[in-house]
Structure 1
Amino acid sequence: MLASDTSPPATPSRPKALWRRWLIWVPLLLLCLAAGGWLGLKYSTTGRQAALASGYIAQVTCSCRFVSERDMASCDTDREPGTEIVQVEEDSANRTITAKVPLLSRRISRFDPEYGCTLVAP
C-alpha cells in the first residue's frame, strides 16, 4: 500500500501575491491622481485664465499679422507680460493663428478680408 501525502496543497507565496496587487493598483492610482490634477487645473481659475490668454493672444496676433501685415517676430513684441506660456502657430494658407496653453486651452483666430479677425468657436 502506498503512503498518502498529508501535506497541504501548494499555495502561492504571500509576498508574490502582494507584489502582483501592487503592480495593478499603483499605476491605476497614479493615473487617477494625474487625471484629477489635470481636471483640477482645467476647470479652475487657472484653466479659465489659460482660455482667456490663448483667445486674447490669438486675436492680437491675427490682427497684427493679417490686418497690419507685420511679420511674426514683430507681432511677438505686442504680447502682454505674463503671456509667455502661450504658444502661437501661424497657418498662412488658411490665414489662421492658433494660440495654445499646453494641456489646458487652444483658441484659433481666422482672418476674413470682409470681417477681419474672428475667434473660431472651441
Structure 2
Amino acid sequence: MAKSTARPASRARTRGNRKYLWPFLIVVAALAVAAFTYRAPITGYAGAGAAYSARVACSCRFIGNRSMEDCAKDKLPGMELISLKEDADAKSVTAVFPLIASETATYRKGYGCILEKWEE
C-alpha cells in the first residue's frame, strides 16, 4: 500500500491562517508607533477644535439666544465628531472630542463666553 502524502485538513487550515499573522502584527505595530509618535499633535488639534466649538456654541446659545440644535449647525466641516452639551443652569457649553479632549465655555455677563482653565 502506498502512503498518503496529503496533510490533514485541519493542519492545512492552521498554516493558511498563520501566513496572515505576520503582516497583521506588522500593521498593528506600525499603527502603535504612529499613535505614540503623533499623540501630541493629535491631542493638541483635538483640544483646539473642542475649545473653538465650545466657545462658538456658547456664544451662539447665550449671546445669540438660539437653540442648541440651531447652534450645532454652525460647526465647521471636519468637526462632526465633536459633540456639544449644554448646562443651562451654569450657562455653559461643553464640547467633547471622544476619548481625546473636552473643553467648556461659560457665559459671564460683561465678558461673553470664556473658556474654563485648562488642566495640566
TM bin, normalised by shorter chain, reads: 0.5 to 0.7
| 1:120 alignment counterpart | 116
- What is the total number of aligned residue pairs between the two structures? 87
> TM-score scaled by structure 2?
0.66
Match of 1:49 among 30, 45, 48: 45
CA contact (8 A) 2:72 2:84 kept: no
> TM-score scaled by structure 1?
0.65
Root-mean-square deviation (CA, aligned residues, Å) is: 2.0
Structure 2: runs of 5+ lacking an equivalent: 1-28
Which residue type is aligned with residue 71 of structure 1?
S
| 2:6 alignment counterpart | none
Name the CA shift for 1:113/1:67 in 2 (closer, same or farther; >3 Å).
same
Please show how residues 15-54 of structure 1 align to structure 2 within 5 Å.
Answer: 40=36, 43-54=39-50
CA deviation vs aligned residue, 1:79-121 (integer Å, no higher than 9, x gap):
1000011111000000010001111111000001111000001
Which has the greater radius of gyration? 1
Q: Show structure 1 runs of 4+ deviating over 3 A.
A: none
| 1:99 alignment counterpart | 95
Q: Percent identity?
A: 30
| 2:105 alignment counterpart | 109
